[in-house]
Amino acid sequence: MNNEHINGEAGADTAADKGSRSHGDRRNSRGQSQGQAQSHAASNEGSREQRSSRSHRRTTRHKTVTLEHKRPQITPEGQGEVEAFSKPRTRNASKSTAGSRRRGAVKRNPSATLKIIPLGGLDAIGKNMTVFECGDDMLLVDAGLMFPDDDHPGIDLILPDYTYVLENEHKLRGIIITHGHEDHTGSLPYLMKDLSRKVPIYGTKMTLGLIEGKFSEHRVKAKLAEIKAGDEIKLGGFIVDFFAVNHSIPGAVGVFMQSPAGNVLHTGDFKLDQSPIDGVHTDFGALARFGKIGVDLMMSDSTNAQNPNFTPSEAEVGKTLRQIIENAKGRVIIASFASHIHRLQQIADAAVANGRKVVVTGRSMVQNTDIARKLGYLKIQDVDLIDAYDLKGTPAEKVVIMCTGSQGEPLSALARIANGEHRTIQIDEGDTVIISATPVPGNEKAVTRVVNSLAKIGCEVYDKKRAMVHVSGHAGAEELKLVLSIVQPKHFMPVHGESTHLRAHARLAEATGVPARNIFLCENGDTLQLSESGVRFGDPVESGIVYVDGLSVGDTSKDVLEERQALSNYGFATIAAAVNARKKQIEGVVRVEMRGITGGDVAELRREATDTVKGTLRRALDKGAKGKDLDKACRDALLSLLWERTKQRPMVVSSIIEL
Ligand SMILES: [Zn+2]
Ligand SMILES: [Zn+2]
């Protein structure tokens, strides 16, 4: 992997709209380390051997989904009531100076054990979900999803297998959501439907606003409890502190959990932006305070661990956008992640500063703009907004269009605009298009396709390669080390990344002084047990993936995926015939149909195929073959013919009916 790729991946903020597209590297972390990483492997050898003797229960399942869709619109200011979320009882709501607060402490119990069980998020950047369980109390941190790639034809979404949560539902005291990105919230609607009671969901106002929108589409009712950074709440035997982190979405928090067995710090997704758009910095003070109380285990965002520097500030993007818009002649169209509210704010500010109106288009872009404005996270005045349907008559050089489609999605607003298929927005030579995002690995081709269609029209296209129109929302190596140095955890577990990211983060932790034997490279389904005597691996739990598919087909999903792949790669043939087995003869015609097979549309091959099947069928009948044997004989004969002629093995379905 080259650096470019990694930066791209990290910068993709997969989080935002699209999950990671990487699925490789799934179960290969053990014993394949190189260089410095060797020491981790070696130092954890004991626990590793002990662990590998236990087998993980890996699962794949299917789910179906029905959604309620309304055409989203932006509500004018002052209209559209926002229902307040319930507020949990916090222990510090009235005090404002961090130092003077009397915080709670959990009484330590030498015989208590805290289990930390990642159910997702360690094989890819996506579907984050971690269980924290101590005695009869269980917390869940994040409940995300992942978007499928070319390996999953026809699959809509991928969720982590959360069977363990359902099996221990009676212990579940609350679900904590660190921020509103799909890789942290996406499986919530499914989880809520599967739970038999309404477990409260804790998140900041922005996070809950996005979750609420999702729930109304899924027609899910839930108990949403709003917390703020700086709050401390009690959940069963846990005391949970929330602290502000800076990320590519407003309202992101990290969590510090104190349990009778020990304390865990989970950073959530973060970066250390020193000049944040909304003025919210990652809370160094809180990190230092938790460090002082004692962090037995720290879990931290590994997305950009291979990026050697500091991630640039979001403000840098604003400067670039302003410049490009200032110099633009015609329309300006900017595609970005719909949840990147800071980016949307900067786009809007740059538009207004240049005397342009803002048009918002694309379903998720309109929805999120609406939610963020209602909740006060995004400030665009009504006079500065034009509905895409009222655009007629506004000169091209007076608008900036914010749209979806930064990943080249074929049905997105940008792709429609580029293809001249958008209902209200057109594009002309001399217009400017900015792709204010990084393609998630796997989406590069699709993005290039859209960029090329735009170039053909004669547009000025800016992407990350040409100007700083995007920065990542995740901390680079220097930032990660800084946080590790402040917190000084006893044990460390890198999270949120593929194996390579986790290993890179482990090396950083070691460099800051965490002993190699105290660094735990885990896989989904592993259990870490934290107690007074330290951290060790426990028994793995059932884990895996759940496919969400419009046409659910039960438990055979892996076979089905393989079939879909065979279909798309090699095509499909059917054999249909009726026979009289008693008389040993074929009744009527033998039909062979071929679709997507090289030469399948050539009369000669079709004739040859039919003759081959006919001959085979006759011989089989002569030998007294019946039922499935007839099907198999025909299938094998056709397959060997097609292999001979095309060197491919398409899917062949034979239905020989016995009269
Ligand atoms: Zn994330
Ligand atoms: Zn995120």
**What is the C-alpha to C-alpha distance for residues 444 and 406, in angstroms, rounded to an integer?**
10
pLDDT reading at 164 higher than 80 = yes
Model pTM score: 0.80
Query: 473 CA distance to ligand 1 centroid (A)?
Result: 9
Q: Which of 307, 245, 301, 302 is nearest to 273 (CA)?
A: 245
CB atoms within 10 A of CB 437: 28
Cβ 141 vs Cβ 493: under 8 Å: no
3-state SS of the chain: helix, strand, coil percent to 5?
Answer: 35, 20, 45
Task: Clarify whether residues 396 and 479 are in a common domain.
Answer: no
**579 DSSP β-pair partners:** 586, 658
Q: Does residue 29 belong to any structural domain of this protein?
A: no
Task: Clarify whether residues 282 and 143 are in a common domain.
Answer: yes
* 3-class SS of residue 581: coil
Confidence at 39, pLDDT banded by 50, 70, 90: very low
Confidence at 152, pLDDT banded by 50, 70, 90: low
Q: Does residue 373 belong to any structural domain of this protein?
A: no
Ligand that comes closest to the CA of residue 128: 1
CB atoms within 10 A of CB 156: 16
Mean pLDDT of 538-551: 84
According to DSSP, the β-strands at 572-580 and 651-658 are parallel
Ligand that comes closest to the CA of residue 473: 2
Token pair listed for 237: 């035997």
Task: Clarify whether residues 478 and 455 are in a common domain.
Answer: no
For residue 586, the domain's CATH number is 3.10.20.580
145-159, 465-479, 581-595: range with lowest mean pLDDT: 145-159
Range of the domain at 400: 314-356+382-462
Q: Does residue 170 belong to any structural domain of this protein?
A: yes
225-229, 261-265, 337-341, 410-414: range with lowest mean pLDDT: 410-414
* Residue 640 phi, psi dihedral angles, 5° rounding: -70, -35
Query: 15 CA distance to ligand 1 centroid (A)?
Result: 5
Mean pLDDT of 284-292: 97
Single-letter residue type at 332: V
pLDDT reading at 634 higher than 80 = yes
* 3-class SS of residue 153: coil
Q: Does residue 564 belong to any structural domain of this protein?
A: no
Query: 269 CA distance to ligand 1 centroid (A)?
Result: 6
* 3-class SS of residue 537: strand
472 is in an annotated binding site: yes
Query: 623 CA distance to ligand 2 centroid (A)?
Result: 65
Give how many domains the chain has, as a whole number: 3
Task: Clarify whether residues 92 and 125 are in a common domain.
Answer: yes
Task: Clarify whether residues 130 and 212 are in a common domain.
Answer: yes
Query: 375 CA distance to ligand 2 centroid (A)?
Result: 19
**What is the C-alpha to C-alpha distance for residues 358 and 381, in angstroms, rounded to an integer?**
10
Q: Does residue 367 belong to any structural domain of this protein?
A: no
Q: Which of 117, 4, 3 is nearest to 464 (CA)?
A: 4
DSSP state of 345: H
Q: Does residue 559 belong to any structural domain of this protein?
A: no
Q: Does residue 218 belong to any structural domain of this protein?
A: yes
- DSSP string for 558-571: HHHHHHHHHHHHH-
The HSE-up count of residue 180 (CA atoms within 13 Å, CB side) is: 26
Mean pLDDT of 633-659: 86
Task: Clarify whether residues 174 and 227 are in a common domain.
Answer: yes
Query: 70 CA distance to ligand 2 centroid (A)?
Result: 26
340 is in an annotated binding site: no
Cβ 247 vs Cβ 337: under 8 Å: no
pLDDT reading at 610 higher than 60 = yes
Query: 92 CA distance to ligand 1 centroid (A)?
Result: 28
Query: 659 CA distance to ligand 2 centroid (A)?
Result: 62
Query: 443 CA distance to ligand 1 centroid (A)?
Result: 18
For residue 520, the domain's CATH number is 3.60.15.10
184 is in an annotated binding site: no
359 is in an annotated binding site: no
